[in-house]
Structure 1
Amino acid sequence: MGNVNKPHFDVHPSVVYQLGESLISDAVQALIELVKNCYDADATYAKITINTGDNQKVPGAIYRAHNGQIVVEDDGFGMDEETIKSGWLLISNRSKLALKQSKETTPGGRTPLGDKGLGRLGVQRLGENLDVFTKTKDGPTYHLAFSWLDFATAPSLKDVDIHFERTSHLNKPGTKVVISNLHEIETWRGQQSLKKLEQELSRMISPYKQIRDFMVYVEVDGKSLELIEITDRVRDLASIRYTLKFDGKEFTVFGRARLDFFRPDRPSDAEEFALLAESDDGQRFFEFLKSYKLGQSYNLVRSSSKKWFVEFGYKRRFEDLDKLEPNPKNPKELANPGPFYGEIDSFDLGATSYRQQSVFDTLNEYRRHIKQLSEIRVYRDGFEIRVGRDWLKLGAQWTSARSYYGLKPDNTLGFIALTARDNMDLEETTDREGFKDTPYYRNFYALLQDFRKFTEKAQELFRRAWSDFKKKRNEEIARLDSRKDVEDISRTIKKGLAEAASHHRSLETFRARLEVSFQKSKTVMNKLSVATQVTPALKSQVEEAFASLEPLIKDAKEVIPRIEGYLHELGTLKGMGQVLEDRVDSLRQQVDDMYETVALGLTAEALSHEVFNIADALAKRAKSAQTRLRNKGISDRTVLAFIEYVHSAVMTLRKQISFLSPSLRYVREKRNDIVLEDFLMELEAFYRDRLQKNNISIRIITKNRSLMIRMNRGKMSQIIDNFVLNSEYWLKEDLKHERIKAGEIIFEIDSPFIRIWDNGRGIDPSVEQTLFEPFISMKGRGQGRGLGLFIVKQLLDSEGCHIGVVPERNKSKRLYKFQMDLRGAINE
């Protein structure tokens, strides 16, 4: 008896009312939640009818259409009495979530989209009154009705007035939801509001047929809304297309590009493109593209489809991505977002591309349509998850110089398709405004950032390849040896132009003689024209005139071919001038690319001196403080221990700076004799403390103890430092994910070689061909500039030494061992 009055928690009905207002961000999203319920009921369609007048009434409804009405009906499996009581009327019943977690599906084979049991409360966002008619295949029709206003005034949930009865107003399986006395009726009124509604629904319900097996029809005040569909005719206008597929283990990106994609924007350049590339359907250009190492690493092939010019792509194992987060339920595993699929198209909005299509009547219409649809959206079973217009940061990467050729937000559209079944761990926020920030979502985002990084590199390669191809063709036309440098070309042009003065003098002498002979001939011709007979004297004059012409004709036969040859040579020099301009442009680009690196080096050098001064001052202050404490007889262990710690930290900092400084100044310093075994052991001692904290060690194998080279110590330090830092980074990743128990970096001295490797996974296959190119890195964004091995190669080349990768693979079937050939620096 005492338990009846035992204190207990209860919920006031107003809380339900407030939940309904706060759960859903806006009226359109609330409408979509109702459509999702239709989908979860295995319906083939959802029909939405909106009336903003006061005279509409659905047969059987107890609430009139005061201040507008929304009707959502479907042909799903409906609800029986038990489902109504345990589902609709039991707030936050999560039966759909239980179905998903058990990997079960609806009778129609769908995995429910809802999982929180709160979506029905979002109906409160739309209007005050609710009538629900529902019928199962073999069961009766039920009518449920209530007013949300009652939740604000009833003393308890059981006091909320619920109308529930059997009815005959629905004679086929399905559900009809009627909402009246609308809250935000202006959302559904007026041409501008309807256009916005049309656009919002077109975004939120997938416009891509291939990821939608469910139709939605909308009518507002008797007018049907035309939801936008992205048809194949429009998509086929794309200049480049990507297909993404993640099967849970491997991430595959497949790209296709049209020949139009490579066409320059300027009309004069476009004409040259037509002559050099389009004249043979791009065959010579494709062969040039294949010669690029980066193109080989992207598996570049000629497309078998007439629509596309080239195909390319890459594959990466999920575990090979950098900085992935562990599964919170099992830290030994990665937080896997589950399989997904995507297609992304990029369009050229220029006038030339417009002229080559027949879908749009005007250039403005073409541009407006693509920009209206532009966005990479995420859909779960055909329904959008709002993630923000440029959630992949395409705009941010486009603003950087090296990413100018990447995807642009205003002319790129596409989708990422998720399913409730495969991507259950990618949870949406309660208000449906994006994903919860979890390890699963962050790893999902990392996959897509890897894709974005790939598009930057691939499209930059393609755009620059055309420029390089054009330069090569100019060199061929100029018959110029590609091995000649700018100075050689300049000397050739200078020499050719210097001959112009000599040819000018020859022509001037010939012209003067020709003028004299012409005047003599003119005089004789005048006399002949008036003479009645040819006298001996006149005949002699004619013969003299002809005699003066004879040597001129002979000289002309020599001078004219010589001038023709020189003019032809000038034509060649004109081609050389173009080549010289191209070479200067290339040098300017290289200078621009390296400027940031040089600036970084100067900053680091200045910083090293500043840090050294700070460390020196800190050491003096610590020593002064320690002296004062001793003089005053203070023996506080904590304070003294702290001062000792400061001493130790300063010594370590000084050691680091002393190591860094010569690396920055090696250009200005002299070469030293370096015994490699002693040098490597010294560096091993330097790295030891830091590496041991991460369970990493360095092992030195010496097959030749006397190997000595002559090189600047700072330069050699920088070379070794690049290898150690690179190995350290990837070994820490392997240790983090428990792929290895301890990390080890090995240096093997075997005259004239040093071989370097570690016990990590090895070199990612996607960069095998381009390891020593600049800006090549598989590290996460902000973790590396991709210049380490490029700088190592440049430093070794400057000493007549070389570096390569040993063609030997580890247990992961990857290349892993580097070899430095130091013959150019051996001190003999």
Structure 2
Amino acid sequence: MAVKELKIRPYARLLTMLGEQLIKNEQIALAELIKNSYDADASWVKISFIDFGIEDNLNKMVIRPESKIVIEDNGHGMTPEIIEKSWMNPATPNKRVESGEEKRTEEKGRVIQGEKGIGRFAVLKLGRKIIITTRPKSSENEYVINYDLSAYDDDFLSVDGVEKELFIDDITIDAKSQEASVIVEREVKVNHKIYNLQNNQGTRIEISNLKGEWSKTKLENVSEETQKLESIFDKIFDKDIETSFEIGFELNGERFLHSDNTIEKLANLLEYNTVFKITHGKYNEKEQSFIYSINGVNKKISLNEPILSGLRVYRDYFLKEKDLFGNAVSKLSTCGDFEFNFFIFDFNANKETKYYLDRKEKELIKKHRIYLYRDKIRVAPYGDPNDDWIGTEKLRAIRRAGDFLSNDQVVGFVDISKKNNPKLKDKTNREGLIEEGTATQDFIALLQTFLSYIRLHPYAQYLLNQKQKKEQEINRLKVVENKFSELEKSISDNPIAMSVYQDIVNSYKIEKKFYERRLELTEDLAGVGLSVETASHDIMLMLSKGVSAIDDLIKDLEGELLDDEEVSNELLKIKGVFSFVNTQMKDIQLLFKSSKQRRRSIRVFDVLEKVIKIYQRSLKRENIELIVDKVGSPIVAKCTDAILLQLFINLFDNAIYWLSTVHILDKKINIKLDGNTNQVVFSDNGPGINSEDEPYIFEAFYSGKEEGRGLGLYIARQLLQRIDYSINTAELKSEKILSGANFVINFTKLENND
């Protein structure tokens, strides 16, 4: 059989199909053409809407037969060779030089942004008739390219109403050379600036037979978005910076300016109303670490530190793979170094604080998210109000919202470059990054990890500080008592009013006692819930094994596969399973209210042994060595079993969790019961307590764990304090046993509290 050589020959309608897919709307089309001007080293680009009718309260722009859109600049223009080999040939590979480095413009050193090819589809999105006039630098001539596609239907299936099989190479474009008459030296006004020099070069694109619909509102939105093409943060933080690329709009010969001063307003909010300014941030891929400044304090934090590697958002992505022994293998990122700045607001701040935001300020902040810039040029749509490219809102929806900052309260930017981040590539349609390989996913997971850390540590600490300040202020002012006192003085001469007043005061005291008791009960129930949740894991596991063993035994009996002795052995195994469950349930029963109400003298070690049994499997699974040292006579506490059970369950739970986040061979928990001092020291050789977290670890709802409730240590301390015992972190070197977290529980009653 003869081999026939075939060639790919696309139909002309591919132009329409690609145009619809690549260029989603008019804003992207204009942005693409503006990028072409930027790549041409233009100082300015002006977009003029000419001969439009205005209706409907001066908002609707009516497209007339003579209406046109003109995009002109003073860039380096196109030579005949560039027109033929680049402009006329989509997807020309001109973005990189042979070394693989990014290609830069000759005059201004800008990194090339546009790709020859997309511009063709951009003009087709706007209209059917295009005249391009271009004049290269130092040329006496200008070159005119005439796209007149008005004879074709929208799908290129007919010409002048007659159906015809049309291929792309059937579409002919007229091009001619002429003495410069359009692009000549002239005065050009763009926004508030006048340009007199270097206007005898550049490109002018005139688009008529227009498509789509336009209004002043739409034009205002397009104008606003194109102003974000370059980083708005450069304008905010370097207010004296002179832009080297001015973008201007005109409507029917009049300058069309986006009239508000949002950038100035946003700059003031970033300067004066942020809870945290995270600046000069950089992710160093070689070191696998974040370096940044938070409110002026320089920080460095490594991905190997448990405060990051212990976060679920990190574990779920970077620690998914296991080695032959079942140990997590850390995945290394491949996205490259990047820089970042984040500004964190508190949308719930009180009016009395400097962080307070009114309604209009909140609305302004919500218009700006976290932008992504490549070589200082924006990657759209990242940063748009409704765009969740980092996935924060998705995580808040499927996990616990309090573990992540809301998109509403974070404004900022991430800087990448073609040089440092070659694997982070733009989609062909300019709508974000390609998910090719794992680089983009690595990049997003790193940002999620860092922002989750900010929420769970610095921001959580800020919230606790605000809460404590408010409580201290209320206590300092004795608000309720003072109000009662003022009221009593004002009505002291009125017996009837005083009688009513006394009734109110008595009712207040009764209600106060009621709510104090309810708080105690709530804390008790929360403690029970946390402890039962922990203990129930092994109980459910053993129950499952017991049920499975019974099923197997039934099948063996039905098949008459076992003799009497073998049946007896199987029943003994099943009895062992349910004996374990029975013992565990008896221990859990000690947590409930009926047991809690009976205080008695309890040997602390006896309760500790019960908790050790609960955690035997977890200790074995994580290869943790448990050491229990007893010094002197046994420690006896006057309390309930429930208090000690909750105390040790929480300490074990925390220690095992944090030890699971470190990669060391000799993981240890050491518990020292010292009868001479009446103290228990509970220590591990995990990562220890972060110095920034330490002041907050006994506060309600503060947790270093991503999904921790922040109640365990808080409830343990509350329960101990009720009976005049205490728990604290070890402060003296002599109290510390291992290198990680060290807690000291003192079972000596505090004086004057009996």
TM-score (norm 2): 0.66
Is the 8 Å Cα contact of residues 135 and 141 (structure 1) preserved in structure 2? Answer: yes
Residue by residue over 1:303-358, the C-alpha shift from the partner in whole angstroms, topping out at 9 and shown as x without a partner, is: xxxxxxxxx8784625243232439999543466721124466799999999xxxx
Q: 1:327 to 1:101 in 2, by over 3 A?
A: farther
Instruction: State the one-letter code of the partner of 2:125.
Output: R
Instruction: Answer yes or no: is 1:230 the counterpart of 2:262.
Output: yes
Distance 1:244 1:104 in 2: 31
* Paired position in structure 1 for 2:472: 468
* Paired position in structure 1 for 2:558: 631
Q: What secondary structure is seen at the aligned counterpart in 2 of 1:462? A: helix
* Paired position in structure 2 for 1:447: 450
Q: What secondary structure is seen at the aligned counterpart in 2 of 1:766? A: coil
Cα drift, residue 787 of structure 1: 1.9
Q: What secondary structure is seen at the aligned counterpart in 2 of 1:721? A: helix
Cα drift, residue 438 of structure 1: 1.6
Instruction: Answer yes or no: is 1:762 the counterpart of 2:688.
Output: yes
Residue by residue over 1:266-293, the C-alpha shift from the partner in whole angstroms, topping out at 9 and shown as x without a partner, is: xxxxxxxxxxxxxxxxxxxxxxxxxxxx
Instruction: State the one-letter code of the partner of 2:202.
Output: G
Distance 1:474 1:784 in 2: 34
Cα drift, residue 18 of structure 1: 1.0
Distance 1:393 1:590 in 2: 39
Cα drift, residue 705 of structure 1: 7.5
Instruction: State the one-letter code of the partner of 1:210.
Output: I
Instruction: State the one-letter code of the partner of 1:230.
Output: T
* Paired position in structure 2 for 1:160: 171
Q: What secondary structure is seen at the aligned counterpart in 2 of 1:716? A: helix
For structure 1, list consecutive stretches of 5 or more residues without a partner in the other structure: 55-63, 256-311, 355-362, 479-488, 505-569
Residue by residue over 1:628-658, the C-alpha shift from the partner in whole angstroms, topping out at 9 and shown as x without a partner, is: 54233379xxxx9x99999999888777656
Is the 8 Å Cα contact of residues 235 and 345 (structure 1) preserved in structure 2? Answer: no
Is the 8 Å Cα contact of residues 51 and 252 (structure 2) preserved in structure 1? Answer: yes
Cα drift, residue 145 of structure 1: 4.5
Q: 1:691 to 1:95 in 2, by over 3 A?
A: farther
Is the 8 Å Cα contact of residues 596 and 641 (structure 2) preserved in structure 1? Answer: no
Cα drift, residue 493 of structure 1: 12
Q: 1:449 to 1:98 in 2, by over 3 A?
A: farther
Distance 1:24 1:71 in 2: 18
Residue by residue over 1:526-554, the C-alpha shift from the partner in whole angstroms, topping out at 9 and shown as x without a partner, is: xxxxxxxxxxxxxxxxxxxxxxxxxxxxx
Cα drift, residue 29 of structure 1: 2.1
Residue by residue over 1:523-582, the C-alpha shift from the partner in whole angstroms, topping out at 9 and shown as x without a partner, is: xxxxxxxxxxxxxxxxxxxxxxxxxxxxxxxxxxxxxxxxxxxxxxx9xxx9xx99x989
Is the 8 Å Cα contact of residues 612 and 654 (structure 1) preserved in structure 2? Answer: no
Is the 8 Å Cα contact of residues 615 and 653 (structure 1) preserved in structure 2? Answer: yes
Q: 1:69 to 1:247 in 2, by over 3 A?
A: same
More helix by share: 1
Distance 2:692 2:170 in 1: 66
Distance 2:172 2:516 in 1: 76
Instruction: State the one-letter code of the partner of 2:301.
Output: R
Q: 1:428 to 1:476 in 2, by over 3 A?
A: same
Q: What secondary structure is seen at the aligned counterpart in 1 of 2:332? A: strand
Cα drift, residue 688 of structure 1: 4.0
Q: 1:702 to 1:416 in 2, by over 3 A?
A: same
Is the 8 Å Cα contact of residues 319 and 330 (structure 2) preserved in structure 1? Answer: yes
Distance 2:479 2:636 in 1: 41
* Paired position in structure 2 for 1:14: 13
Is the 8 Å Cα contact of residues 546 and 577 (structure 2) preserved in structure 1? Answer: no
* Paired position in structure 2 for 1:240: 273
Distance 2:581 2:218 in 1: 65
* Paired position in structure 1 for 2:60: none
Cα drift, residue 31 of structure 1: 1.5
Q: 1:680 to 1:106 in 2, by over 3 A?
A: farther
Q: What secondary structure is seen at the aligned counterpart in 1 of 2:748? A: helix
* Paired position in structure 1 for 2:385: 389
Cα drift, residue 767 of structure 1: 1.0
Instruction: Answer yes or no: is 1:371 the counterpart of 2:367.
Output: no
Cα drift, residue 772 of structure 1: 1.6
- The count of residues paired between Structure 1 and Structure 2 equals 639
Distance 1:226 1:800 in 2: 70
Q: 1:615 to 1:755 in 2, by over 3 A?
A: closer
Distance 2:94 2:521 in 1: 60
Q: What secondary structure is seen at the aligned counterpart in 2 of 1:340? A: strand
* Paired position in structure 1 for 2:37: 38
* Paired position in structure 2 for 1:268: none
* Paired position in structure 2 for 1:269: none
Is the 8 Å Cα contact of residues 96 and 102 (structure 2) preserved in structure 1? Answer: no
Is the 8 Å Cα contact of residues 136 and 174 (structure 1) preserved in structure 2? Answer: yes
Cα drift, residue 163 of structure 1: 3.5
Q: 1:167 to 1:696 in 2, by over 3 A?
A: farther
Distance 2:209 2:97 in 1: 35
* Paired position in structure 2 for 1:794: 718
For structure 2, list consecutive stretches of 5 or more residues without a partner in the other structure: 54-62, 158-164, 185-199, 238-242, 284-288, 322-328
Cα drift, residue 161 of structure 1: 1.9
Instruction: Answer yes or no: is 1:218 the counterpart of 2:217.
Output: no
Larger Rg: 1
* Paired position in structure 2 for 1:125: 125
Instruction: State the one-letter code of the partner of 2:171.
Output: V
* Paired position in structure 2 for 1:819: 743
Instruction: State the one-letter code of the partner of 1:730.
Output: W
* Paired position in structure 2 for 1:731: 659
Is the 8 Å Cα contact of residues 775 and 785 (structure 1) preserved in structure 2? Answer: yes
* Paired position in structure 2 for 1:317: 301
Is the 8 Å Cα contact of residues 674 and 709 (structure 1) preserved in structure 2? Answer: yes
Distance 1:199 1:131 in 2: 27
Instruction: Answer yes or no: is 1:250 the counterpart of 2:278.
Output: no
Is the 8 Å Cα contact of residues 745 and 757 (structure 1) preserved in structure 2? Answer: yes
Q: In the alignment, which of 704, 719, 734 is matched to residue 631 of structure 2?
A: 704
Is the 8 Å Cα contact of residues 528 and 591 (structure 2) preserved in structure 1? Answer: no
Which piece of structure 1 moves more, 763-772 or 90-99?
90-99
Residue by residue over 1:352-396, the C-alpha shift from the partner in whole angstroms, topping out at 9 and shown as x without a partner, is: 999xxxxxxxx9xx9658735643332522536334526487999
Residue by residue over 1:598-638, the C-alpha shift from the partner in whole angstroms, topping out at 9 and shown as x without a partner, is: 46846986998999799869946862662254233379xxx
TM-score (norm 1): 0.61
Instruction: State the one-letter code of the partner of 2:681.
Output: R
Distance 2:98 2:22 in 1: 22
Q: 1:192 to 1:795 in 2, by over 3 A?
A: same
